[in-house]
């Protein structure tokens, strides 16, 4: 599995930087966003360093599906009962701030309206 020693998400996945984890296994790690846009805002991150959706291939289909299924489970476990939003920012023009593929999952009242 490819990792990037300079990537903050690779460092979180390796346990080198602390995070408020809500899930981890051999492929994925999920943790609370440090600058949340909603009452519940988690990131689901592959342990493998994938720079963005632009680097995704057919070989990543199962991983991407697992991320989506996991998001539903985690929102339920975190008490989100009235809907949530999925966001994947891709590249600079797409608003991606960390060059490592990650899925934002935001729940609670109107999570897209940052106060």
pLDDT digits (tens, 9 = 90+) for 8-23: 999 999 999 999 999 9
Q: Are 43 and 31 in contact (CB under 8 A)?
A: yes
Could you give the residue numbers annotated as active site?
A: 102
**Do the domain assignments include residue 114?**
no
Please count the structural domains in the chain.
1
Q: Are 7 and 96 in contact (CB under 8 A)?
A: no
Identify the DSSP state of 19: -
Q: Are 38 and 113 in contact (CB under 8 A)?
A: no
**Do the domain assignments include residue 39?**
yes
Confidence class for position 2, pLDDT limits 50, 70, 90: confident
Q: Residues 23-62: pLDDT tens digits?
A: 999 999 999 999 999 999 999 999 999 999 999 999 999 9
Q: Are 63 and 27 in contact (CB under 8 A)?
A: yes
Please give the model's pTM, rounded to 2 decimal places: 0.93
**Do the domain assignments include residue 68?**
yes
CATH number at residue 97: 3.30.428.10
Identify the DSSP state of 33: -
**H helices of the chain, where?**
8-13, 61-77
**Do the domain assignments include residue 30?**
yes
Full domain range(s) for residue 60: 8-107
- Bridge partners of residue 85, in order along the sequence: 106
């Amino acid at each position: 599995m490819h990792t990037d020693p300079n990537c903050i998400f690779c460092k979180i996945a390796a346990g080198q930087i602390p995070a408020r984890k809500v899930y981890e296994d051999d492929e994925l790690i999920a943790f609370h966003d440090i600058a949340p846009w909603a009452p519940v805002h988690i990131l689901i991150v592959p342990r493998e360093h994938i720079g963005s959706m632009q680097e995704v291939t057919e070989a990543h289909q199962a991983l991407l599906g697992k991320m989506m299924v996991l998001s539903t489970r985690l929102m339920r476990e975190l008490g989100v009962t009235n809907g949530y939003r999925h966001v994947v920012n891709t590249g600079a023009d797409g608003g991606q701030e960390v060059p490592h593929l990650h899925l934002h999952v935001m729940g609670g009242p109107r999570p897209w309206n940052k106060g």
